[in-house]
Protein backbone atom coordinates (compact mmCIF):
# COMPACT_ATOMS: atom_id res chain seq x y z
CA UNK A 1 0.00 0.00 0.00
CA UNK A 2 1.35 3.41 -0.98
CA UNK A 3 1.90 5.72 1.95
CA UNK A 4 0.05 9.04 1.79
CA UNK A 5 1.91 12.09 3.07
CA UNK A 6 0.23 14.82 5.08
CA UNK A 7 1.10 17.33 2.38
CA UNK A 8 -0.94 15.48 -0.25
CA UNK A 9 -4.00 15.43 2.00
CA UNK A 10 -4.04 19.22 2.34
CA UNK A 11 -3.20 19.09 6.03
CA UNK A 12 -0.92 21.92 7.15
CA UNK A 13 1.01 21.88 10.39
CA UNK A 14 0.17 24.86 12.56
CA UNK A 15 3.34 26.36 14.01
CA UNK A 16 3.23 26.25 17.79
CA UNK A 17 4.49 29.27 19.67
CA UNK A 18 7.24 27.51 21.58
CA UNK A 19 8.95 28.93 24.66
CA UNK A 20 12.06 29.63 22.59
CA UNK A 21 10.04 31.63 20.06
CA UNK A 22 8.28 33.54 22.84
CA UNK A 23 11.64 34.32 24.42
CA UNK A 24 13.17 35.60 21.17
CA UNK A 25 10.07 37.64 20.30
CA UNK A 26 10.15 39.33 23.71
CA UNK A 27 13.87 40.06 23.53
CA UNK A 28 13.48 41.39 20.00
CA UNK A 29 11.01 43.97 21.34
CA UNK A 30 13.11 45.21 24.26
CA UNK A 31 16.65 45.25 22.82
CA UNK A 32 17.53 48.85 21.74
CA UNK A 33 18.63 47.88 18.24
CA UNK A 34 19.04 51.40 16.86
CA UNK A 35 21.32 52.52 19.71
CA UNK A 36 23.45 49.37 19.59
CA UNK A 37 23.85 49.53 15.82
CA UNK A 38 24.93 53.18 15.95
CA UNK A 39 27.50 52.13 18.55
CA UNK A 40 28.91 49.21 16.52
CA UNK A 41 28.56 50.50 12.94
CA UNK A 42 31.68 52.77 12.97
CA UNK A 43 33.84 49.72 13.75
CA UNK A 44 32.20 47.29 11.31
CA UNK A 45 34.17 46.21 8.19
CA UNK A 46 33.61 48.43 5.16
CA UNK A 47 33.81 45.60 2.63
CA UNK A 48 35.51 47.60 -0.14
CA UNK A 49 37.03 44.46 -1.68
CA UNK A 50 35.96 40.84 -1.90
CA UNK A 51 32.52 39.54 -1.06
CA UNK A 52 30.15 42.06 0.48
CA UNK A 53 30.02 41.69 4.27
CA UNK A 54 26.88 40.68 6.11
CA UNK A 55 24.87 43.55 7.56
CA UNK A 56 25.96 44.71 11.02
CA UNK A 57 22.50 44.03 12.42
CA UNK A 58 22.60 40.44 11.14
CA UNK A 59 25.95 39.81 12.83
CA UNK A 60 24.83 41.49 16.05
CA UNK A 61 21.70 39.33 16.17
CA UNK A 62 23.80 36.20 15.62
CA UNK A 63 26.18 37.27 18.38
CA UNK A 64 23.27 37.73 20.78
CA UNK A 65 21.89 34.31 19.83
CA UNK A 66 25.24 32.87 20.94
CA UNK A 67 24.83 34.50 24.36
CA UNK A 68 21.20 33.40 24.72
CA UNK A 69 21.81 29.72 23.99
CA UNK A 70 25.50 29.17 24.78
CA UNK A 71 26.70 28.29 21.27
CA UNK A 72 30.35 28.27 20.24
CA UNK A 73 31.27 29.78 16.86
CA UNK A 74 31.14 26.43 14.98
CA UNK A 75 27.93 25.41 16.78
CA UNK A 76 26.35 28.76 15.91
CA UNK A 77 27.15 28.26 12.22
CA UNK A 78 25.51 24.81 12.25
CA UNK A 79 22.52 26.09 14.23
CA UNK A 80 21.86 28.74 11.58
CA UNK A 81 21.66 25.96 8.98
CA UNK A 82 19.53 23.68 11.15
CA UNK A 83 17.09 25.98 12.96
CA UNK A 84 14.76 28.24 10.93
CA UNK A 85 13.83 30.22 14.06
CA UNK A 86 17.44 31.37 14.43
CA UNK A 87 17.57 32.50 10.80
CA UNK A 88 14.31 34.36 11.30
CA UNK A 89 15.62 36.18 14.39
CA UNK A 90 18.88 37.01 12.57
CA UNK A 91 16.84 38.40 9.64
CA UNK A 92 18.45 36.04 7.15
CA UNK A 93 15.98 35.87 4.26
CA UNK A 94 14.76 32.50 2.98
CA UNK A 95 16.25 33.16 -0.45
CA UNK A 96 19.75 33.93 0.81
CA UNK A 97 22.51 32.01 -0.95
CA UNK A 98 25.01 31.88 1.92
CA UNK A 99 25.07 32.05 5.71
CA UNK A 100 27.81 33.44 7.96
CA UNK A 101 30.44 30.80 8.69
CA UNK A 102 32.27 30.33 11.98
CA UNK A 103 35.18 32.56 10.88
CA UNK A 104 32.82 35.45 10.13
CA UNK A 105 31.13 35.00 13.51
CA UNK A 106 34.54 34.87 15.23
CA UNK A 107 35.77 38.06 13.52
CA UNK A 108 32.67 39.96 14.64
CA UNK A 109 33.26 38.83 18.22
CA UNK A 110 36.92 39.87 18.01
CA UNK A 111 35.85 43.27 16.72
CA UNK A 112 33.67 43.78 19.81
CA UNK A 113 36.54 42.72 22.07
CA UNK A 114 39.18 44.85 20.33
CA UNK A 115 37.19 48.08 20.61
CA UNK A 116 35.87 47.44 24.12
CA UNK A 117 32.27 47.49 22.93
CA UNK A 118 31.04 45.12 25.63
CA UNK A 119 31.31 47.86 28.26
CA UNK A 120 29.61 50.33 25.94
CA UNK A 121 26.78 47.89 25.21
CA UNK A 122 26.10 47.55 28.95
CA UNK A 123 26.18 51.34 29.36
CA UNK A 124 23.83 51.83 26.38
CA UNK A 125 21.30 49.32 27.72
CA UNK A 126 21.43 50.85 31.20
CA UNK A 127 20.94 54.35 29.80
CA UNK A 128 17.77 53.09 28.11
CA UNK A 129 16.55 51.55 31.38
CA UNK A 130 17.29 54.76 33.31
CA UNK A 131 15.34 56.80 30.74
CA UNK A 132 12.34 54.57 31.40
CA UNK A 133 12.68 54.96 35.15
CA UNK A 134 13.53 51.29 35.71
CA UNK A 135 16.90 51.87 37.40
CA UNK A 136 17.57 54.14 40.37
CA UNK A 137 21.05 54.91 41.68
CA UNK A 138 20.59 55.57 45.38
CA UNK A 139 21.90 52.20 46.56
CA UNK A 140 24.14 49.36 45.37
CA UNK A 141 24.50 45.68 46.25
CA UNK A 142 27.87 44.07 45.52
CA UNK A 143 28.74 40.39 45.21
CA UNK A 144 30.82 37.94 43.19
CA UNK A 145 30.34 34.49 41.71
CA UNK A 146 32.75 31.79 40.58
CA UNK A 147 32.71 30.75 36.93
CA UNK A 148 34.53 27.51 36.22
CA UNK A 149 37.21 27.23 33.57
CA UNK A 150 38.38 24.03 31.83
CA UNK A 151 41.03 22.43 34.03
CA UNK A 152 42.24 20.01 31.37
CA UNK A 153 45.82 20.33 30.04
CA UNK A 154 45.04 18.46 26.82
CA UNK A 155 45.80 21.36 24.48
CA UNK A 156 48.66 22.61 22.30
CA UNK A 157 50.57 24.19 25.20
CA UNK A 158 49.84 21.40 27.66
CA UNK A 159 48.78 23.83 30.37
CA UNK A 160 45.69 25.38 31.92
CA UNK A 161 44.69 28.97 31.24
CA UNK A 162 47.41 31.02 33.03
CA UNK A 163 44.97 33.86 33.79
CA UNK A 164 42.63 31.56 35.70
CA UNK A 165 43.35 30.27 39.18
CA UNK A 166 42.12 27.76 41.73
CA UNK A 167 40.45 28.65 45.00
CA UNK A 168 38.79 26.83 47.86
CA UNK A 169 35.16 27.50 48.75
CA UNK A 170 34.02 25.53 51.75
CA UNK A 171 35.59 22.12 51.30
CA UNK A 172 35.51 22.25 47.50
CA UNK A 173 38.29 23.41 45.19
CA UNK A 174 37.33 25.42 42.08
CA UNK A 175 39.40 26.48 39.07
CA UNK A 176 38.34 29.48 37.04
CA UNK A 177 37.50 33.17 37.40
CA UNK A 178 35.26 35.47 39.41
CA UNK A 179 32.66 37.86 38.07
CA UNK A 180 32.14 40.79 40.44
CA UNK A 181 29.02 42.90 39.96
CA UNK A 182 27.38 45.96 41.44
CA UNK A 183 23.59 46.02 41.09
CA UNK A 184 20.94 48.61 41.78
CA UNK A 185 19.53 48.01 45.26
CA UNK A 186 16.00 48.89 44.12
CA UNK A 187 15.65 46.99 40.83
CA UNK A 188 18.47 44.41 40.96
CA UNK A 189 19.85 45.54 37.59
CA UNK A 190 23.59 45.29 36.96
CA UNK A 191 25.39 48.59 36.50
CA UNK A 192 29.05 47.55 36.93
CA UNK A 193 31.02 44.38 36.10
CA UNK A 194 34.65 43.49 36.83
CA UNK A 195 36.46 40.16 36.59
CA UNK A 196 39.44 38.58 38.34
CA UNK A 197 41.03 35.18 38.76
CA UNK A 198 39.13 32.96 41.19
CA UNK A 199 41.64 33.42 44.03
CA UNK A 200 41.12 37.21 44.27
CA UNK A 201 39.27 38.26 47.41
CA UNK A 202 35.88 39.86 46.87
CA UNK A 203 36.75 42.93 48.94
CA UNK A 204 39.58 43.95 46.56
CA UNK A 205 37.04 44.85 43.84
CA UNK A 206 34.50 46.65 46.04
CA UNK A 207 35.68 50.16 45.10
CA UNK A 208 35.42 49.38 41.37
CA UNK A 209 31.79 48.22 41.67
CA UNK A 210 30.41 51.58 42.83
CA UNK A 211 29.19 54.21 40.37
CA UNK A 212 29.70 57.10 42.80
CA UNK A 213 26.08 58.21 43.21
CA UNK A 214 24.96 55.67 45.81
CA UNK A 215 24.36 56.60 49.44
CA UNK A 216 24.37 53.06 50.85
CA UNK A 217 25.99 49.77 49.80
CA UNK A 218 24.91 46.28 50.86
CA UNK A 219 27.27 43.30 50.91
CA UNK A 220 27.66 39.89 52.52
CA UNK A 221 30.04 39.06 55.36
CA UNK A 222 32.92 38.48 52.92
CA UNK A 223 33.26 42.27 52.63
CA UNK A 224 33.96 42.87 56.33
CA UNK A 225 36.37 45.78 56.87
CA UNK A 226 35.82 47.22 53.39
CA UNK A 227 35.16 50.72 54.74
CA UNK A 228 38.71 50.81 56.17
CA UNK A 229 40.45 50.16 52.85
CA UNK A 230 42.46 53.05 51.40
CA UNK A 231 40.77 53.02 47.99
CA UNK A 232 37.33 53.20 49.58
CA UNK A 233 38.27 56.07 51.87
CA UNK A 234 39.83 57.93 48.95
CA UNK A 235 37.10 57.40 46.33
CA UNK A 236 33.90 56.78 48.33
CA UNK A 237 34.35 58.29 51.81
CA UNK A 238 30.68 59.15 52.38
CA UNK A 239 29.12 55.82 51.48
CA UNK A 240 27.31 53.92 54.24
CA UNK A 241 28.22 50.21 54.24
CA UNK A 242 25.67 47.64 55.39
CA UNK A 243 27.66 44.43 55.82
CA UNK A 244 26.01 41.17 56.85
CA UNK A 245 26.76 39.72 60.26
CA UNK A 246 28.92 36.60 60.34
CA UNK A 247 26.66 33.51 60.21
CA UNK A 248 28.12 32.15 63.45
CA UNK A 249 27.46 35.38 65.33
CA UNK A 250 23.92 35.60 64.02
CA UNK A 251 23.23 32.01 65.03
CA UNK A 252 24.46 32.82 68.54
CA UNK A 253 21.91 35.63 69.00
CA UNK A 254 19.45 35.05 71.85
CA UNK A 255 16.13 36.04 70.27
CA UNK A 256 14.44 36.12 73.66
CA UNK A 257 16.34 39.35 74.32
CA UNK A 258 14.71 42.39 72.64
CA UNK A 259 18.03 43.82 71.47
CA UNK A 260 19.09 40.51 69.88
CA UNK A 261 15.66 40.03 68.27
CA UNK A 262 15.92 43.52 66.77
CA UNK A 263 19.38 42.78 65.36
CA UNK A 264 18.07 39.56 63.81
CA UNK A 265 15.20 41.44 62.14
CA UNK A 266 17.70 43.97 60.79
CA UNK A 267 19.80 41.14 59.33
CA UNK A 268 16.70 39.69 57.66
CA UNK A 269 15.94 43.07 56.11
CA UNK A 270 19.49 43.46 54.82
CA UNK A 271 19.41 39.89 53.46
CA UNK A 272 16.20 40.60 51.53
CA UNK A 273 17.93 43.52 49.79
CA UNK A 274 21.14 41.58 49.16
CA UNK A 275 19.15 38.76 47.55
CA UNK A 276 18.61 40.96 44.48
CA UNK A 277 22.26 40.55 43.51
CA UNK A 278 21.67 36.82 42.99
CA UNK A 279 19.06 37.34 40.26
CA UNK A 280 21.51 38.36 37.49
CA UNK A 281 23.74 35.41 38.40
CA UNK A 282 20.74 33.08 38.05
CA UNK A 283 19.90 34.54 34.63
CA UNK A 284 23.34 34.09 33.09
CA UNK A 285 23.95 30.67 34.68
CA UNK A 286 20.50 29.07 34.43
CA UNK A 287 18.65 31.04 31.74
CA UNK A 288 21.63 31.53 29.41
CA UNK A 289 23.52 28.42 30.57
CA UNK A 290 26.85 30.18 31.15
CA UNK A 291 28.38 27.98 33.87
CA UNK A 292 31.87 27.62 32.39
CA UNK A 293 34.20 29.96 30.52
CA UNK A 294 34.35 29.43 26.77
CA UNK A 295 37.51 31.40 25.92
CA UNK A 296 41.06 31.63 27.25
CA UNK A 297 42.07 34.75 29.13
CA UNK A 298 40.13 37.27 31.19
CA UNK A 299 39.73 39.87 28.43
CA UNK A 300 37.63 37.71 26.11
CA UNK A 301 35.51 36.32 28.93
CA UNK A 302 34.99 39.79 30.40
CA UNK A 303 33.72 41.08 27.06
CA UNK A 304 31.26 38.19 26.88
CA UNK A 305 30.07 38.71 30.47
CA UNK A 306 29.45 42.42 29.89
CA UNK A 307 27.13 41.61 26.99
CA UNK A 308 25.42 38.84 28.95
CA UNK A 309 24.73 41.07 31.96
CA UNK A 310 23.33 43.72 29.63
CA UNK A 311 20.99 41.09 28.20
CA UNK A 312 20.11 39.88 31.70
CA UNK A 313 19.00 43.43 32.59
CA UNK A 314 16.71 43.49 29.57
CA UNK A 315 15.40 40.01 30.34
CA UNK A 316 14.53 40.89 33.93
CA UNK A 317 12.72 44.07 32.85
CA UNK A 318 11.17 42.71 29.65
CA UNK A 319 7.60 42.46 30.96
CA UNK A 320 7.54 46.05 32.22
CA UNK A 321 9.20 47.34 29.06
CA UNK A 322 6.70 45.54 26.81
CA UNK A 323 3.81 46.91 28.86
CA UNK A 324 5.27 50.39 28.36
CA UNK A 325 5.45 49.83 24.60
CA UNK A 326 1.83 48.66 24.46
CA UNK A 327 0.50 51.48 26.64
The residues with which 141 forms a beta bridge, in sequence order, are 183, 218
Do 164 and 288 lie in one domain? The reply is: yes
Do 278 and 321 lie in one domain? The reply is: yes
Does a structural domain hold residue 259?
A: yes
Question: How much is the average pLDDT of 157-171?
Answer: 88
pTM over 0.85: yes
Does a structural domain hold residue 6?
A: no
Q: Which of 2-16, 137-151, 174-188 has the lowest mean pLDDT?
A: 2-16
Q: Structural domain tally of the chain?
A: 2
Do 143 and 248 lie in one domain? The reply is: yes
pLDDT in tens, 33-54: 999 999 999 998 876 667 788 9
- Measured CA to CA, the distance from residue 209 to residue 193 in angstroms comes to 7
pLDDT value of position 62: 97
Q: Which domain holds residue 154?
A: 136-326
The CATH number of the domain where 302 resides is what? 3.30.420
Q: Which helix (H) or strand (E) holds 305?
A: helix 298-316
Do 188 and 88 lie in one domain? The reply is: no
Beta-strand ranges (E) seen in 170-263 are 172-184, 190-197, 216-219, 240-243
Does a structural domain hold residue 9?
A: no
Query: What DSSP string runs through 2-49?
Result: PPPPTTTTT--PPPP--HHHHHHHHHHHHS-HHHHHHHHGGGS----S
Residues 36 and 28 sit within 8 Å (Cβ to Cβ)? no
103 contact partners, CB below 8 Å, separation of at least 6 = 73
- Of the candidates 211, 206, 195, 284, which has an alpha carbon nearest to the alpha carbon of residue 243? 206
In the chain, the N- to C-terminal Cα span, in Å, equals 58
Do 67 and 158 lie in one domain? The reply is: no
Does a structural domain hold residue 195?
A: yes
The last residue of one of the domains, among 114, 148, 169, is 114
Does a structural domain hold residue 4?
A: no
52 contact partners, CB below 8 Å, separation of at least 6 = none
Q: Which helix (H) or strand (E) holds 251?
A: helix 247-251
Name the pairing type of β-strands 139-148 and 190-197. unpaired
pLDDT value of position 1: 47
pLDDT in tens, 75-90: 999 999 999 999 999 9
Do 167 and 253 lie in one domain? The reply is: yes
pLDDT at 257 over 50: yes
Do 102 and 142 lie in one domain? The reply is: no
Amino acid sequence: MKQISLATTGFELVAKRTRKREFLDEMNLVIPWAELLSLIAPHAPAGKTGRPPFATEVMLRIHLLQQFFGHSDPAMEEALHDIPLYREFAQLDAGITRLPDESTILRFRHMLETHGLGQQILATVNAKLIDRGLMLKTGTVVDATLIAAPSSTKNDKGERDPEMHQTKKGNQWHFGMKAHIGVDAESGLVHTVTTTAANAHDVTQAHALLHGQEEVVFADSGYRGVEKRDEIQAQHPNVEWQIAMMPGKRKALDKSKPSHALRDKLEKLKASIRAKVEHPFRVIKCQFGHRKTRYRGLAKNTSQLLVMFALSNLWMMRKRMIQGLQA
